[in-house]
Amino acid sequence: MTEVKVMLTEIREKTVVKENGMVEISTPDLPIGTRVEVIVLIEKEEMDTTEYLLSTEANRKHLERAMRDAEDPKKRIYVDIENL
């Protein structure tokens, strides 16, 4: 069996997604018929901590329950630091 060695070359292009999710790049470094693999990296604005923590229904419910529990004196645990 013959081993085929492949050399990878990177072409980095920035573009904007068009209608129907269409992504298009155009560069003379892509000869017709060349086999390529395309990886799309999506730029997203960073979320602040609160927005991130509330970003899923499960997180939101957990945080709401935790806030209710924090207001209930029966659910608080007091620790005497002197006795640690």
pLDDT of residue 49: 85
Task: State residue 7 phi and psi, 5-degree precision.
Answer: -105, 130
SS3 of 46, please? coil
Residue 63 counted as domain residue: yes
Q: Say if 20 falls within a structural domain.
A: no
> Is 31 part of a structural domain of the chain?
no
Q: How many domains does the chain divide into? A: 1
Burial 59-74 (b: 16+ CB within 10 A, else e): eeeeeeeeeeeeeeee
Q: Is residue 14 part of a domain?
A: no
pLDDT band at 61 (very low <50, low <70, confident <90, very high): very high
Give the domain range for residue 70. Answer: 45-84
Tell me, what's the pLDDT at 26? 87
